[in-house]
């Protein structure tokens, strides 16, 4: 477990520095834990243990309305990181590509602007031709690195 924590910690340090919002989202997800499915709640040794403790304490039995949560394992946390990076890469690429398609459909400039009326700062100008290609390359590289949900081994 210590090695897994160290590896996860290393990744999260890097994420906090380079992609802080993504790091926050991952932190929040890991903190909240993984919901136990209804099927899992009522099966296996964990269920027997819970059942026994409740019976011994003369407390109400587990019911379908109960919600159980388990902490993410080391492997699961790494899977979360992988999935989040893949999702971000896909979002970046598909957003730019779709907007480029739209500008082409309506015959408008592929450079789009975002600004606030109340703000004196320069608009944020995005050249979709350049950005779509760049984001697609990043997405392809990501997909190549991690495959389609390839599993991380236990070692």
Q: Of 1, 2, 3, 63, which one interacts with another protein (CB under 8 A)? A: 3
Determine the Cα–Cα distance for residues 15 and 143; give it in Å rounded to an integer.
19
Cα–Cα distance measured from residue 16 to residue 32, given in angstroms and rounded to the nearest whole number: 19
> Which residues does 126 contact at the CB level (< 8 Å), separation at least 6?
96, 111, 112, 113, 114
Euclidean distance between CA atoms 64 and 101, whole angstroms: 48
Among 5, 14, 51, 129, binds another protein (CB under 8 A): 14
The answer to whether residue 71 forms part of the interface with another protein (CB under 8 A) is no
Listed residue (43, 32, 119) closest to 70, CA to CA: 32
Give the three-state DSSP class for 33. Answer: coil
Number of residues that bind another protein (CB under 8 A): 69
Binder among 5, 49, 66, 83 for another protein (CB under 8 A):
83
Q: Is 35 a residue that touches another protein (CB under 8 A)?
A: yes
Under rule CB under 8 A, residue 62 binds another protein: no
Closest by CA to 84, choosing from 68, 100, 69, 72, is 72
41: contact with another protein by CB under 8 A: no
Residue ranges that bind another protein, judged by CB under 8 A: 3-4, 7, 10-11, 14-15, 18-19, 21-22, 25-26, 28-29, 32, 35, 74, 78, 80-85, 87-92, 94-99, 102-103, 106, 108-109, 111-119, 123-124, 126, 131, 134-135, 137-138, 141-142, 145-146, 150-155
């Amino acid at each position: 477990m210590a090695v897994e924590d160290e590896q996860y910690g290393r990744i999260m340090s890097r994420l906090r520095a380079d992609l802080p919002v993504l790091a926050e989202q991952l932190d929040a997800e890991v903190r909240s834990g993984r919901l136990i499915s209804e099927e899992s709640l009522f099966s296996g040794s964990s269920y027997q243990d819970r059942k026994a403790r409740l019976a011994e304490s003369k407390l109400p039995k587990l019911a379908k309305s109960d919600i159980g949560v388990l902490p993410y394992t080391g492997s699961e946390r790494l899977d979360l990181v992988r999935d989040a990076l893949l999702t971000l890469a896909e979002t970046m690429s598909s957003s730019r590509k779709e907007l480029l398609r739209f500008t082409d459909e309506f015959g408008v400039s592929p450079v789009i602007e975002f600004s606030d009326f109340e703000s004196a700062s320069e608009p944020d100008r995005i050249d979709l031709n350049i950005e779509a290609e760049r984001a697609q390359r990043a997405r392809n590289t990501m997909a190549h690195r991690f495959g389609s949900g390839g599993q991380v081994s236990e070692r």
